[in-house]
């Protein structure tokens, strides 16, 4: 893992999920500015309840993350990118078998140093 990749995810620590968006064949977590896009099917734990998108009631469970604050993350290249919310976890698989294309996840973060819609972007 590069420091650059860690720096991107570190920007999410302390931020609250403001929306969970389902866009055709991927999912986004919004943080009132930054957006984490899961191009690979995300999975996780909400309390003791496991889920995997798009199976079962995972879309309903994923909405429970709205209002939760990121308190940590894990990045294991070629395995997973995960955000922690206390006892809850939202993960995006990064392994080759889980990918539906060359990219598994994107993180877009607005650049506060400019008024232009320039964004910093990380790709896994």
Q: How many other CB atoms are found less than 10 A from the CB of residue 22?
A: 13
Element housing 45 (H / E): strand 43-46
Question: Each residue of 21-36: pLDDT tens digit?
Answer: 999 999 999 999 999 9
CA distance 49 to 60: 12
CA distance 73 to 82: 5
Question: Each residue of 63-95: pLDDT tens digit?
Answer: 999 999 999 999 998 899 999 999 999 999 999
pTM: 0.91
Domains of the chain, by residue range, sit at 3-123
Question: Each residue of 42-62: pLDDT tens digit?
Answer: 999 999 999 999 999 999 999
């Amino acid at each position: 893992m590069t420091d650059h990749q860690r720096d991107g995810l570190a920007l999410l620590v302390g931020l609250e999920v403001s929306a969970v968006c389902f866009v055709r064949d991927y999912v986004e977590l919004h943080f009132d500015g930054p957006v984490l896009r899961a191009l690979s099917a995300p999975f996780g734990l909400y309390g003791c309840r496991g889920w995997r998108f798009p199976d079962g009631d995972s879309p309903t469970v994923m909405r429970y993350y709205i209002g939760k604050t990121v308190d940590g993350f894990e990045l294991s290249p070629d395995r997973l990118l995960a955000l922690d919310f206390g006892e809850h976890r939202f993960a995006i698989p990064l392994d080759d078998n889980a990918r539906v294309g060359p990219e598994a996840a994107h993180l877009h973060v607005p650049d506060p140093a400019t008024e232009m819609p320039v964004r910093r972007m990380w790709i896994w």
